[in-house]
């Protein structure tokens, strides 16, 4: 798997020296050496990207009561078990341990269109945090369900401690054509392995040709 870069003609020698290669079909420069990804940060889609998700993107789906209309609504969190972090260029890869990503404000992929249409997950302004990020929205009343509410509040589907709770999570697996950049927060917790062990894994209905 590779990461695509945005390189202008005059910069080609520079990126080549840093390990990038040319794809004549796509007419794009790309890099495959994961430890070298962040050395090419100047040519990322977004220089703020701090997580490069490799091979598959996972969408963890749970359910929560909407704070506004009080009806149950699906909520999602992006998740990964194979990624490169910007600190120390550390590569994490695991079978069972999945990390959830919150406060995502950038995703370098057309998967964003799918996340909006399929899960009501799109960039919106939160009055609570006074910032803009990819957020969940109630399927009944449309109100934004902030990430604090979804990830950290009492009753959050992604705050689980037991096998029973993890079994309620559905993991949609989206195979990626290229590795993708994400800017967001990642938290590690002792329950990360519960997802891999007990969540219900399903192939996503994401069809890359539709987007």
Q: Residue 72, interface with Zn ion (CB under 5 A)?
A: no
Q: Among residues 122 and 178, whose Cβ is nearest to Zn ion?
A: 122
Selected binder of Zn ion within 35, 140, 161, 208 (CB under 5 A): 140
Q: How far is the CB of 71 from Zn ion (least distance, A)?
A: 6
By CB under 5 A, residue 141 contacts Zn ion? yes
> Among candidates 204, 203, 170, which has minimal Cα distance to 98?
170
Q: Are residues 58 and 174 in contact, defined by beta-carbon separation less than 8 angstroms?
A: yes
Cα–Cα distance measured from residue 136 to residue 144, given in angstroms and rounded to the nearest whole number: 6
Stretch that binds Zn ion, among 48-56, 64-72, 104-112, 175-183 (CB under 5 A): 64-72
Q: How far is the CB of 149 from Zn ion (least distance, A)?
A: 12
Min CB(104)–Zn ion separation in Å: 21
Write down the least CB distance from residue 154 to Zn ion, Å: 18
Contact call for residue 138 and Zn ion (CB under 5 A): yes
Please say which residue, 62 or 184, places its beta carbon nearer to Zn ion: 62
Q: Does 69 bind Zn ion (CB under 5 A)?
A: yes
DSSP H helix total and E strand total for the chain: 5, 15
The three-class DSSP label of residue 68 is coil
How near is the Cβ of 156 to Zn ion at its closest, in Å? 16
Q: What contacts 201, CB < 8 A, 6 or more positions away? A: 171, 173
Residue 190 CB, shortest distance to Zn ion, in Å, is: 31
Q: Round to whole Å and give the CA distance between 125 and 53.
A: 24
For residue 19, is it left (φ>0), alpha (ψ between -120 and 50) or beta? left
Considering CB under 5 A, how many residues would be counted as binding Zn ion? 6
Pick one of 4, 57, 66, 180: the residue that binds Zn ion (CB under 5 A).
Answer: 66
> Where do runs of H (alpha helix) occur along the chain?
12-17, 111-119, 147, 163-166, 192-198
Residues lying near Zn ion in the complex (CB under 5 A) are found at 66, 68-69, 138, 140-141
């Amino acid at each position: 798997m590779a990461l695509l870069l945005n390189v202008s003609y005059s910069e080609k020698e520079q990126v080549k020296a840093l390990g990038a290669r040319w794809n004549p079909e796509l007419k794009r420069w790309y890099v495959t050496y994961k430890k070298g990804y962040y050395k090419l940060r100047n040519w990322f889609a977004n220089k703020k990207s701090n997580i490069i998700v490799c091979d598959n993107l996972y969408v963890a789906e749970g359910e929560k009561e909407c704070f506004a209309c009080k009806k149950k609504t699906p909520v999602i969190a992006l998740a990964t078990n194979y990624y490169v972090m910007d600190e120390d260029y550390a590569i994490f890869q695991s079978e069972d341990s999945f990390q959830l990503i919150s406060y995502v404000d950038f995703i370098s992929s057309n998967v964003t269109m799918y996340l909006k249409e399929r899960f009501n997950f799109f960039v919106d302004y939160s009055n609570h945090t006074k910032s803009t990020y990819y957020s969940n929205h109630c399927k009944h009343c449309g109100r934004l369900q902030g990430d604090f509410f979804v990830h950290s509040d009492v009753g959050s589907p992604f705050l689980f401690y037991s096998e029973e709770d993890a079994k309620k999570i559905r993991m949609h697996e989206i195979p990626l054509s290229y590795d993708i950049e994400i800017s967001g927060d990642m938290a590690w917790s002792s329950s990360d392995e519960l997802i891999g062990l007990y969540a219900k894994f399903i192939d996503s209905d994401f069809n890359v040709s539709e987007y």
